[in-house]
Amino acid sequence: MSIDVSGVSKRYGDFVALDNINLTLPTGQLTALLGPSGGGKTTLLRIIAGLETPDGGSVVIEGNDATRLPVQKRNVGFVFQHYAAFKHLSVARNVAFGLEIRKRSKADVKAKVEELLALVHLSQFADRLPSQLSGGQRQRMALARALAIEPTVLLLDEPFGALDAKVRKELRDWLRRLHDEVHVTTVFVTHDQEEALEVADEIVVINEGRVEQVGTPDQLYDQPANDFVMGFLGEVTTVGDVRVRPHDVEVAVAPGVPGAVTGTVRRMLRIGFEVRISVATEGDAPDVTVVMTRTHARQLELAEGTRVWLTPAAGATTMAAARDAVPA
Amino acid sequence: MAERHRYPKGPTTYVLRALVVAYLALLVAWPVALVVTNTFEHGDEALRTILEDPDMQAALRLTAVAAVVATAINTVFGVSVSLLLVRNQFPGKRALSALLDLPLSVSPIVVGLALVLVYGGRNGWFGPSLEESGFQVIFSTPGIIMATAFVSLPLVIREVVPVLQELGTEQEQAAQSLGASGWQTFWRITLPSIKWAVIYGVVLTLARSLGEFGAVKVVSGNILGETRTATLAVEEKYLNFDQEGAYAIAFLLASVSVLAILVVFVLRSREARR
Amino acid sequence: MSVQIEEVRPAPTRRTPTHDLTRTSGIGLGVTMTWFSLLVLIPLAAVVTTAAAGGWGGFWRAVSNDQTAAAIRLTVTAAFGVTAVNVVIGTVIAWVLVRDRFPGKGMLELVIDIPFALPTIVAGLVLASLYGNDSPLGLNLVNSGWSVYLAFLFVTLPFVVRTVQPVLEELDQEIEEAAASLGASRFTTFRRIILPALTPAIAAGAALSFARAMGEYGSLVLLSGNLPFTSEVTSVRILSAIENDNRATAAAIATLLLLISLLVIVVLDVIQRRVASRG
């Protein structure tokens, strides 16, 4: 096992950032630490890196107890959210930094830097200063710099957080492909569930300093351990006393479906190929949100005011609604 | 700055502009220009006389030595203190940060008095025992250096602290995660990043040190050829009705200080353009 | 395990730990503090101690001596007067530097820093050449009380300008445009919107300028003539006491100056903290 975190706690004054975290991350995998901001995921990543000291517990990296090891000795690659580019050094010198510290020969450094710049597609920018690069290029430079020291584990803190949507998507695909190529144990922090679902082999959901669930993207999406995980990984609506994803709600325009919740279409909003429908149900329950394709809505001849009968689709991920749960 | 919209210029704009130009001309520019014309009233004779006088050479040398040593001390001290203040937590930090500005608002005469009271050879706190072990501070070069270092103490810190704060710690943490020790991180990452602030601080400290007068006057004893600095020589020459000599030394000192602010000015505007 | 640790360690009452010094930075702190104490703190303490040795009576006798009291009165009045002038003209200069564009503005930037870098004795000489016996303006201020004001104006010129300028640069011009769009005249905008934003910076600059003026010595030597009851300032009184080997008196007057400086620093710190908590 590559990273073993056991019993790790961390508090800042009265604020509990991490509360008795136990976690095992297998070698060679790409793991996402997913959760809302302020939930403790970045603190955990920084504790693994040695940038932060836990109040209690231990961190073992590849079998070696690293709890008391300073960051310099852990051989971890760390990629910062805002790149932490060395502004006064060229791109090549940034990548070479860790190797120069390790006193590698000039020729070695040069070869390695060239190899890595090619890997991150920055070869033609080797002599530029970081300020002359775009955000995405800077992030790739930071990644090359972290990979240069051949780290035991690669840690990325919200690596795409500061980038715009399009670049973010590109880099996401690219990170996935890079990982398939390099195979270094990688942990990245994100608050974007789509990013985690798309890129990671395994996702650790962290909230309020605790691990809510660990699993593959499919496991988390299909068998959420609790309400929080279900709500965080995707939109949720409540049909009667069942929580279900809006696209898993079956809509009938005639009565007769057993156990159906009766309601009236209050509002329809078209977004590209899909339609979002708000259904007012009887009683004081909040509106149910239903998502379906435009074509399907047309087939059913739905319009504002149409009476509908709602049931969770067969085989959908459902969860009993807690009495005081806030419907999404 | 380029994006700033221009206001339509009203009469107020021109009145204020004229007021400012006139004020600065009368208070600073014209008087300073007069020193130049007074110095060269008889060609470069006055300047040559000064530079050939061995006593003046000694005074200029002493001024240079005291200024360079004081600047070196204040640079090392200033960078270390700035790092401690910005990067560390320790009890008494706020008090220290406030006290560091003290030298800027203490009268130079009080600075001199304070040093004499502690390091004075006759009845200072530490002075007599220091002199017994052969180390004279007051009426000697170390005293002049200390007085100079005192008055220019905060200048490096005031330049470096804001830059360090803005720099943040991410680059340093990145360097450490790549294996750099604290020392390597300082030399390879921190120092290059605060380089310009340190240079401004050094230039300003040097300018201030070369020109210190009051504090040096109290601690030096003004012994010709030994503890007389250039600024003390200006006073002496002027009071002895050697106005040309006074103007010549003043011109030398003023040139250095104007050069210093010119250097900072040019570097700053180059940096701002980048 | 975490539970145990929480039991052992009482919940910290403050958010930050008392210190986070490594061994190297601890040694650094020790060395720098030793030097700072030897150079600044112990000598200043010696001034206060020497003054205190004479008791309250001794202190009072020293500072209430007719000639000394006159010098203190002149220094304080002139420092206040000059600071008031600086508050106005300094703000105006900063305004012109930030908002106006005209050829030769760069020169003004340079001129403002000259008083800071120019040796004070040279400053006195410089002023004496325009406002002395051979004044091209026919305006002889040398040896008069006005020379004190002149010298103070010169040496304190950069303070208000240099504290106000960056704040003015940061000030969002959109706010002014918003005020104007709501019907405010330029004067109203200045008084209601800009001035309140500048006040902390102006106060900080004023405090620095006042403190500098209170302790000024060098620029007066060749300018004021140091005439008792006319143009003699506090620093000169301290120097005469030192030269007469009257350390107790020197220390007493110096302590008074130090107290005023300290007060100014405290005020400055309070203002800056208030600004920081607002921003």
Mean pLDDT of C127-135: 86
Q: Touching check for C110 and chain A: CB below 8 Å?
A: no
Mean pLDDT of B98-112: 89
User: What pLDDT, on a 0 to 100 scale, did the predictor assign at position C191?
Assistant: 81
**Tally of residues, chain B:** 274
pLDDT value at B104 more than 80: yes
d(CA A310, CA A312): 7
User: What pLDDT, on a 0 to 100 scale, did the predictor assign at position C139?
Assistant: 82
**C23-36 vs B54-87: helix axis angle to the nearest 10?**
140
User: What pLDDT, on a 0 to 100 scale, did the predictor assign at position A146?
Assistant: 92
- Sheet arrangement for strand A249-252: A249-252, A307-312, A261-271, A274-281, A288-293
Instruction: Name the least confident of B16-25, B74-83, C153-162, C195-204.
Output: C195-204
How many structural domains is chain B composed of? Answer: 1
Domain contains B129: yes
pLDDT value at B86 more than 80: yes
Percent of chain B exceeding pLDDT 90 equals 52
CA angle in degrees (0–180, nearest 5) for B87-A135-A28? 85
Taking only the tens place, the pLDDT of each residue in A126-168 is: 999 999 999 889 999 999 999 999 999 999 999 888 788 888 8
User: What pLDDT, on a 0 to 100 scale, did the predictor assign at position A322?
Assistant: 61
Provide the ipTM.
Answer: 0.89
Q: Reply yes or no on domain C40-278 having CATH 2.60.120.260.
A: no
Task: Note whether A13 contacts C2, CB cutoff 8 Å.
Answer: no
pTM as predicted: 0.83
Domain contains B33: no
Domain contains B2: no
Q: Is C75 exposed, middle or buried (0-12, 13-18, 19+ CB in 10 A)?
A: buried
d(CA C268, CA C277): 14
d(CA A274, CA A40): 35
User: What pLDDT, on a 0 to 100 scale, did the predictor assign at position C265?
Assistant: 67
d(CA A142, CA A145): 5
What CATH number does the domain containing B159 carry?
Answer: 1.10.3720.10
User: What pLDDT, on a 0 to 100 scale, did the predictor assign at position C275?
Assistant: 65
User: What pLDDT, on a 0 to 100 scale, did the predictor assign at position B253?
Assistant: 92
Q: Touching check for A12 and chain C: CB below 8 Å?
A: yes
Domain contains B6: no
d(CA B125, CA B118): 4
User: Whole domain around residue B70: which residue ranges?
Assistant: 42-273
Task: Note whether B261 contacts C116, CB cutoff 8 Å.
Answer: yes
Spell out the domain ranges in chain C.
Answer: 40-278
d(CA C220, CA C235): 10
Q: How distant is the Cα of C38 from the closest Cα of chain A, in angstroms?
A: 36
R_g over Cα of chain C? 24
Taking only the tens place, the pLDDT of each residue in A79-125 is: 998 889 998 999 999 999 999 999 999 999 999 999 999 988 999 99
Neighbours of chain C (3+ CB pairs under 8 A): A, B
Q: Cβ contacts (< 8 Å) between B183 and chain A: which residues?
A: none
User: What pLDDT, on a 0 to 100 scale, did the predictor assign at position B50?
Assistant: 86
Which of B176, B178, B195, B198 best tests the A interface by mutation, with the highest count of A CBs <10 A? B178
**Which among C210, C244, C197 has a CA at the least distance from the CA of C94?**
C197
Domain contains B19: no
- Sheet arrangement for strand A15-25: A15-25, A3-12, A56-61, A64-65
d(CA C207, CA C270): 12
Domain contains B54: yes
User: What pLDDT, on a 0 to 100 scale, did the predictor assign at position C161?
Assistant: 95
Q: In terms of DSSP bridges, do strands A3-12 and A288-293 run parallel, antiparallel, or are they unpaired?
A: unpaired
Contacts of C176 (CB under 8 A, 6+ apart): C189, C193, C194
Q: Cβ contacts (< 8 Å) between A13 and chain C: which residues?
A: 12, 14-16
Q: Touching check for A55 and chain C: CB below 8 Å?
A: yes
**B141-151 vs B108-119: helix axis angle to the nearest 10?**
140
Q: In terms of DSSP bridges, do strands A185-190 and A153-157 run parallel, antiparallel, or are they unpaired?
A: parallel
3-state helix, strand, coil in chain B (%, to 5): 75, 0, 25
Taking only the tens place, the pLDDT of each residue in C8-61 is: 333 344 344 577 778 888 898 999 999 999 999 999 999 999 999 888 998 999
Task: Note whether B176 contacts A88, CB cutoff 8 Å.
Answer: no
Task: Compare all CA atoms of chain C with the CA of B80 and give the residue at the minimum distance.
Answer: C28
pLDDT value at C2 more than 80: no
For residues A279-288, one letter each, b for 16 or more C-beta atoms within 10 angstroms of the residue's C-beta and e for the rest, the string is: bebeeebebb
d(CA A209, CA A16): 7
User: What pLDDT, on a 0 to 100 scale, did the predictor assign at position C253?
Assistant: 94
Below-50 pLDDT ranges, chain A: 324-328
d(CA B6, CA A226): 59
